[in-house]
Structure 1
Amino acid sequence: MTGRRRPSSRPFRAAVAALCTAVGASLLSGCGAVLSNKSDSDPIIVMTWAPEGTKATNMPGMPAMAKAFARWVNDSGGIHGRKLEIVTCNERNDAVQAAACAQRAKEDKAVAVVGSYSQYGRAFISPLEVAGIPYIGGYGLTQEEFDSPYSYPVNGGQAALLVGNGRQLAPRCERTALVRPDTIAGDDLPQLLNTGLRAGDRADARDVRAPEDAGDYSEQATTALEGVGADSSLGTADQGAALENSCVTAALGNRTGTFFDSFRRVQENHPKVRIASILGGVRQSLIDSTGGASSPLEGTYATGWYPAGDDPRWNSMKKVISKYAFDDNRIDPDDPGTQTTWIGYTVLRSVLMSLHADDISARTVRDALDNGHAVDTGGLTPTLRWGYGDTLHVPNYSRIVNADVTYQMVRDGQLVAVRKGFVNVSKILERYHPAD
Structure 2
Amino acid sequence: MTGKRHLRNFLPVRTRPVPEGHAPRGRAARRGGTRTSVLSAGALAACASLAVGCGVVPGTSGGGTDEPITVMTWAPEDTAATNKPGMPAMAQAYARWVNSRGGLDGRELRVLTCNDDNEAVGAAACAQRAVDEGAVAVVGSYSQHGRSFLSPLESAGIPYMGGYGVTSDEFTSSISYPVNGGQFSLLAGLGEQLADACGTVVLVRPDSVVGDTMPVLLDAGLRTGEHAAVTDQLAAEDATSYTDAAGRALARATSDTSSTGCVVPSLGDRTDTFMDSFRRVRDDSSEVRIGSVLGSVDQSRLDATGGSSGPYEGAYVTGWYPEETDARWNTMNEVIDEHAFGDNRIDASDPGVQTTWVAYTVFEAVVEKLGEEEISARSIRRALDDGLEVTTGGLTPTLRWRFEDLIAAGDFPRLVNSDVTFQVVRDGRLVAARKDFVNVRQTLENAG
Give TM-score scaled by structure 2 length. 0.86
User: Larger radius of gyration, structure 1 or 2?
Assistant: 2
Among candidates 133, 144, 158, match of residue 169 of structure 2 = 144
Contact 1:33 1:363 in 2 (8 A): no
Q: Distance in 1 between matches of 2:132 and 2:246?
A: 46
1:36 aligns with 2:64: no
Q: Distance in 1 between matches of 2:411 and 2:165?
A: 13
For 2:352, which of 337, 340, 345 is the aligned residue?
A: 337
Q: Is the 8 A contact 1:51 1:90 kept in 2?
A: yes
Q: Does 1:123 align with 2:165?
A: no
1:100 to 120, 125, 130: 125
Q: Residue in 2 aligned with 1:312? A: 327
Match of 1:394 in 2: 409
Render the CA deviation track for 1:238-274: whole Å, top value 9, x for unaligned: x7x34x4211112112211111111111222662111
SS of corresponding position for 1:303? strand
* Partner residue of 2:249 out of 205, 224, 227: 224
Letter of the 1:37 partner, please give it.
S
Q: Does the CA-based 8 Å contact 1:196-1:428 persist in structure 2?
A: yes
Give secondary structure in 2 for the equivalent of 1:85: strand
Partner of 1:132: 157
Query: Separation in 1 of the partners of 2:205 and 2:299?
Result: 21
CA distance in 2, matches of 1:216, 1:110: 41
Shift, 1:371, TM fit: 0.5
**Distance (Å, rounded) in 1 between the aligned partners of 2:113 and 2:58:** 21
Determine the structure 1 residue equivalent to 2:268: 253
Quick one: which amino acid aligns to residue 263 of structure 2?
A: V
Taking the aligned partners of 2:403 and 2:284, their CA distance within structure 1 comes to 54
Deviations 1:192-227 (A, max 9, x none): 000001111001111111121111112221222233
- 2:403 partner SS: coil
Query: Structure 1 pair 209/325, CA: closer, same or farther in 2 (3 Å)?
Result: same
Runs of 4+ in 1 over 4 A off after TM superposition: none
Residues 166 and 210 in structure 2, CA contact (< 8 A), matched pair in contact too: yes
Spell out, residue by residue over 1:20-76, the C-alpha distance to the aligned partner (whole angstroms, 9 max, x if none).
xxxxxx99xxxx975222222111110000000001111000000000000111111
Aligned partners of 2:349, 2:174: CA distance in 1, in Å? 30
1:357 CA displacement: 4.7
| Unaligned residue ranges in structure 1 (runs of 5+) | 1-25, 231-238
Residue 393 of structure 1 aligns to which amino acid in structure 2? Answer: A
* Per-residue deviation, residues 285-341 of structure 1 (Å, max 9, x unmatched): 111112222222110110000001111100010000000001101000000000000
Deviates more, 1:387-396 or 1:61-70: 387-396
> Aligned equivalents of 2:284 and 2:342: distance in 1?
43
Residue in structure 2 matched with residue 207 of structure 1 by the alignment: 232
CA distance in 2, matches of 1:50, 1:118: 6
Between the aligned residues of both structures, percent identity stands at: 56
Deviations 1:357-393 (A, max 9, x none): 5500011011100011111100000000101201101
Aligned to 1:346: 361
Q: Distance in 2 between matches of 1:292 and 1:172?
A: 22
Q: For residue 371 of structure 1, what is the amino acid of its counterpart?
A: D
Structure 2 match to 1:10: none
Partner residue in 2 for 1:84: 109
Aligned residue among 151, 163, 175 for 2:188: 163
Secondary structure in 2 matching 1:185: helix
Q: Does 1:420 align with 2:445?
A: no
The answer (yes or no) to whether the contact 1:369–1:385 under 8 Å persists in 2 is: yes
The amino acid of 1:429's aligned partner reads L
| Secondary structure of residue in 1 paired with 2:127 | helix
Q: Which string of whole-angstrom CA distances, capped at 9 and with x for unpartnered residues, describes residues 375-420 of structure 1?
A: 1100000000101201101121001100000000110111000111
Query: Against the structure 1 CA distance between its residues 424 and 149, is the aligned structure 2 distance closer, same or farther, given a 3 Å change threshold?
Result: same
Query: Residue 324 in 1 paired to residue 339 in 2?
Result: yes
The one-letter code matched in structure 1 to 2:265 is A
Equivalent residue for 1:302? 317
Q: Distance in 2 between matches of 1:308 and 1:34?
A: 39
Match of 1:410 among 409, 425, 431: 425
Say which is worse superposed, 375-384 or 246-255, in terms of deviation: 246-255
Residues 254, 260 of structure 2: 8 Å contact kept: no
Instruction: Say which SS state the counterpart of residue 408 (structure 1) adopts.
Output: strand
Structure-2 residue corresponding to 1:234: none
Q: Which amino acid is the alignment partner of residue 143 of structure 1?
A: S
Q: What is aligned with 2:447?
A: 432
- Answer 1 or 2: higher relative contact order, Cα 8 Å, separation at least 6: 1
Separation in structure 1 between the aligned mates of residue 138 and residue 245 of structure 2, nearest angstrom: 36
CA contact (8 A) 1:250 1:278 kept: no
Question: Which of residues 203, 208, 212 is equivalent to 1:187?
Answer: 212
Amino acid at match of 2:60: S
1:286 maps to 2:301? yes
